[in-house]
Chain A
Amino acid sequence: MHVSSEIPPLKLVVVGHVDHGKSTLIGRLLHETNSLPDGKAEAVIAMSERRGMPVEWAFVLDALQAERDQGITIDTTQIFFNTEKRNYVIIDAPGHKEFLKNMVSGAALSDAAVLVIDAKDGMQEQSRRHGYILHLLGVRQVAVVINKMDLADYREERFQELTTEIRTYLSELGLEASAIIPVSAREGQGLITAPDKMPWYQGPSLVQVLDNFTPPILPTERPLRFPVQDVYKFDERRIIAGRIESGRIHTGDKILISPSNKTVTVKSIESWNTKAPALSASAGQSVGITLSEQLFIERGQMISHESNAPFETNVFRARIFWLGHNPLEVGKRYKLKLATNEQMVEVQSIEMVIDVENLTHDTGDRLERNAIGEVTLRARAMLALDEFSDNPKTGRFVLVDGYDTVGGGTIFMEGYPDQRSRTDVRSTNITAVEHRVTPELRAHANGHEGGVLWLTGLSGAGKSTIAIELEHQLFAKGYQVYVLDGDNVRFGLSSDLGFAPEDRVENIRRVGEVAKLFASAGVLVVTAFISPYRADRDRARSIAPDMFHEVYIAADVATCEGRDPKGLYKKARAGEIKEFTGVSAPYEEPVTPEVTVETADRTVNESVAELMAYVEENFSMVKRNAGGR
Chain B
Amino acid sequence: MDHLDALEAQSVYILREAFNKFDRMGMLWSLGKDSNVMVWLARKAFLGHVPFPLMFCDTGKKFPEMYDFQKKYSAEWGVNLIVRDCPPIEEIDPTLPPATRSAARKTEALKRLIAEQNMQAVVAGIRRDEEATRAKERVFSPRGTNAEWDFRDQPPEFWDQFKTDFAPGTHIRIHPILHWTELDIWRYIQREGIPIVDLYFSKNGKRYRSLGDQDITNPIESEAGTIEEIITELEGTSIAERSGRAMDHEAEDAFERLRTAGYM
Given that A2-B235, A270-B47 are contacting pairs, would A408 and B9 also be in contact in the complex, using a CB cutoff of 8 Å?
A: no
- Chain A residues near B156: list those with CB within 8 A: 101-102, 104-105, 323, 405, 408
How distant is B203 from chain A, measured CB to nearest CB, in Å? 24
User: B238's contact among A36, A63, A243, A288, by CB below 8 Å, is which?
Assistant: A36
Query: CA of A80 to CA of B10 in the docked complex: distance in angstroms?
Result: 18
Contact B49 A234 (CB under 8 A): yes
Q: Contacts A78-B179, A288-B47 given; 5 further ones with Cβ under 8 A?
A: A5-B187, A37-B240, A101-B156, A299-B20, A335-B165
B52 sits at the interface (CB 8 A): no
How distant is A6 from chain B, measured CB to nearest CB, in Å? 5
Q: Give A2's nearest chain B residue, CB to CB.
A: B235
Contact B136 A271 (CB under 8 A): no
Given that A65-B256, A230-B16 are contacting pairs, would A239 and B1 also be in contact in the complex, using a CB cutoff of 8 Å?
A: no
How distant is B221 from chain A, measured CB to nearest CB, in Å? 13
- Interface flags for A98-112 (1: CB within 8 Å of B; 0: not) read 000110110111000
- Chain A residues near B48: list those with CB within 8 A: 234-235, 272-273
Q: Which of A508-565 contact B (CB under 8 A)?
A: none
Query: CA of A36 to CA of B22 in the docked complex: distance in angstroms?
Result: 38
Contact B252 A108 (CB under 8 A): no
Contact A285 B1 (CB under 8 A): yes
Contact A6 B159 (CB under 8 A): no
User: B20's contact among A229, A234, A243, by CB below 8 Å, is which?
Assistant: A229
Q: Interface segment, B58-66, B88-96, B147-155?
A: B147-155
- Chain A residues near B256: list those with CB within 8 A: 63-65
B243 sits at the interface (CB 8 A): yes
Contact B16 A8 (CB under 8 A): no
A66 sits at the interface (CB 8 A): yes
How many A-B Cβ pairs are below 8 Å?
156
User: B19's contact among A230, A272, A273, by CB below 8 Å, is which?
Assistant: A230
Contact A39 B6 (CB under 8 A): no
Query: CA of A235 to CA of B46 in the docked complex: distance in angstroms?
Result: 11
A337 sits at the interface (CB 8 A): yes
User: A77's contact among B8, B132, B236, by CB below 8 Å, is which?
Assistant: B132
Contact B161 A64 (CB under 8 A): no
- Chain B residues near A65: list those with CB within 8 A: 252-253, 256
A147 sits at the interface (CB 8 A): no
B75 sits at the interface (CB 8 A): no
A403 sits at the interface (CB 8 A): yes
B112 sits at the interface (CB 8 A): no
How distant is A386 from chain B, measured CB to nearest CB, in Å? 14
Sorting the interface of chain B by its residue count into under 10, 10 to 19, 20 to 34 or 35 or more gives 35 or more
A232 sits at the interface (CB 8 A): yes
B192 sits at the interface (CB 8 A): yes
Query: CA of A404 to CA of B44 in the docked complex: distance in angstroms?
Result: 31
Query: CA of A37 to CA of B131 in the docked complex: distance in angstroms?
Result: 11
Contact B136 A64 (CB under 8 A): yes
Query: CA of A496 to CA of B187 in the docked complex: distance in angstroms?
Result: 61
- Interface flags for A62-97 (1: CB within 8 Å of B; 0: not) read 011110000000111111100000000000000000
Contact A337 B238 (CB under 8 A): no
- Interface flags for B105-137 (1: CB within 8 Å of A; 0: not) read 000000000000000000000001101110110
- Interface flags for B173-188 (1: CB within 8 Å of A; 0: not) read 0000001010110010
A177 sits at the interface (CB 8 A): no
- Chain B residues near A286: list those with CB within 8 A: 8-10, 12-13, 16, 45
- Interface flags for A259-292 (1: CB within 8 Å of B; 0: not) read 0000000000011110000000010111010000
CB<8 Å pairs between A and B, sample of 18: A5-B183, A64-B256, A65-B256, A79-B129, A101-B156, A104-B158, A107-B158, A229-B13, A229-B16, A242-B16, A243-B9, A284-B5, A284-B9, A286-B12, A398-B159, A402-B165, A403-B163, A403-B165
User: B152's contact among A1, A39, A66, A408, by CB below 8 Å, is which?
Assistant: A66
- Chain B residues near A285: list those with CB within 8 A: 1, 5, 9
How distant is A398 from chain B, measured CB to nearest CB, in Å? 4
Given that A273-B44, A405-B161 are contacting pairs, would A63 and B135 also be in contact in the complex, using a CB cutoff of 8 Å?
A: yes
- Chain B residues near A397: list those with CB within 8 A: 161
